[in-house]
Amino acid sequence: MEGRRKALLFTLCFFFFSLPSLSSLPAYQTLVPTSHSLPSASPISFQPESEPVSESLIGSGSDSESSITLNLDHIDALSTNRTPEELFSSRLQRDSRRVKSIATLAARIPRRNTTRAPRPGGFSSSVVSGLSQGSGEYFTRFGVGTPARYVYMVLDTGSDIVWLQCAPCRRCYSQSDPIFDPRKSRTYSTIPCSSPLCRRLDSAGCNTRRRTCLYQVSYGDGSFTVGDFATETLTFRRNRVKGVAVGCGHDNEGLFVGAAGLLGLGKGRLSFPGQTGRRFNQKFSYCLVDRSASSKPSSVVFGNAAVSRTAKFTPLLSNPKLDTFYYVELLGISVGGTRVPGVAASLFKLDQIGNGGVIIDSGTSVTRLVRPAYVAMRDAFRVGAKSLKRAPDYSLFDTCFDLSHQNEVKVPTVVLHFRGADVSLPATNYLIPVDTNGKFCFAFAGTMSGLSIIGNIQQQGFRVVYDLMGSRVGFAPRGCA
């Protein structure tokens, strides 16, 4: 009898101690609607280009102590004469295209051998090999070539190739700066077809007359860029990075907007972090400001300075069929201080053949969760926000509120539980303005794809740290200071 009592007592103790601790998770937080509005096209925030370049070059050595910080601006800054509502509507349209492109890329057959020889004479087929630069949301400015020609370039964690438009142009879209002419650069050098760099391309071709490497990136929406694959020097403020493999696009067409090209920040070997790993110790981070409430610039940092001491880290996962995206393990979600029962870790599992999972993406705006998880989370939020006045749906958002004439409101808290890192979101990261009349919507959406995506609205205000050497991603709150 005594043994049974002890066993029962042990079971009860185990049950209570195994329950998730909610004492540190507040149920509500304050949102001040009047301090947040739809952002307009703010001025570009870049430093003057006349800043002298240091003679200490960051070349092919292993100077892991070097760090570079660059300002980022939202792609809306390249738009003129458009209202905040028009800019937001365009953003959601770009977002929809990007999510569709990501889902197509993630669902494709496993990647073929990346060391195969390039096809002679050019290309015979279209390969889905990245995401449309037109769907990238943030861009920066740096120099290309010697002497440096400064251009705007979109940064994208969902792409692996660095490319820009080049003269002579067979087909080029309109960009803000003169098109880069490699003939005027002393450091431009084509890559031989036999080079290991050429063999790393997903879709490589060979100019049989010159025996030089050709690249092709085709996108799910029909956009593409084709041209020479070469090495070039990139200039970031006072630092020059030599020998970066870049696509010099002579034939570019599609939904590309304003910028000269793309700086791929994906996990693949030909992305900028993949190529410059030794120089920047395989670390970079960015912090995206809430443009509806702050005039500070967003920023990206390469090198050891990218790692914040306050960051909470979660391990990176490997996808056996696709190495571009940054996969993480999402275990659950809390709303109003309580774990949502219908949001199970199994819904976000990356299986052995590379299907499903969760990625962190800089170019997707609105977080997409697999449909069952989203519905459970949304319903929990609606219950917690039942005191707020509901408003009609808006675009992809099915949970909206009329907060006009409200000085402040209490909203349920939202916490994302990654393995090893609980990320508590500010209210402004999930209840956002969608017009200028006080309508706010719950900034999550469901997806019928098996892939969930953590978007940049939910990342706002955090310094998101990519430590590729440590195979981890970190989140540091209030990281844009």
Per-residue pLDDT tens for 124-143?
322 333 444 444 688 899 99
| pLDDT above 50: residue 349 | yes
Q: What is the mean pLDDT of residues 41-54?
A: 53
Measured CA to CA, the distance from residue 40 to residue 42 in angstroms comes to: 6
Cβ-proximal residues to 234 (8 Å cutoff; 6+ apart), any chain = 142, 143, 144, 240, 241, 244, 246
Confidence of residue 12 (pLDDT cuts 50, 70, 90): very low
Measured CA to CA, the distance from residue 250 to residue 480 in angstroms comes to: 37
61 and 279 Cβ atoms separated by less than 8 Å: yes
Amino acid in the structure at residue 263? L
**Residue 117 confidence (pLDDT):** 59
| pLDDT above 80: residue 108 | no
| pLDDT above 80: residue 325 | yes
316 and 472 Cβ atoms separated by less than 8 Å: yes
21 vs 68: which has the higher pLDDT? 68
Residue 202 designated active-site: no
| pLDDT above 90: residue 221 | no
Q: Which two tokens stand for residue 261?
A: 């090209």
Query: What does pLDDT average to over the chain?
Result: 84
Measured CA to CA, the distance from residue 3 to residue 16 in angstroms comes to: 20
Cβ-proximal residues to 10 (8 Å cutoff; 6+ apart), any chain = none
Confidence of residue 49 (pLDDT cuts 50, 70, 90): low
Report strand pairing: 119-120 vs 204-207: parallel
Catalytic residue among 73, 95, 156, 160: 156
443 and 38 Cβ atoms separated by less than 8 Å: no
Q: Which of 74-83, 142-151, 245-254 has the lowest mean pLDDT?
A: 74-83
Beta bridge pairs of residue 247: 163, 229
Q: What is the pLDDT of residues 63-81, one digit of tens each?
A: 445 789 999 988 777 676 7
Residue 156 designated active-site: yes
Reported pTM: 0.87
Q: What is the pLDDT of residues 273-308, one digit of tens each?
A: 999 988 899 999 999 988 666 667 899 999 999 999
Q: Which two tokens stand for residue 85?
A: 């509502």
Measured CA to CA, the distance from residue 273 to residue 283 in angstroms comes to: 8
Catalytic residue among 73, 290, 323, 361: 361
Measured CA to CA, the distance from residue 256 to residue 269 in angstroms comes to: 24
* Whole-angstrom Cα Rg for the chain: 24
Going from the N-terminus, what domains does the chain have, and what CATH number goes with each? 124-279 (2.40.70.10), 308-480 (2.40.70.10)
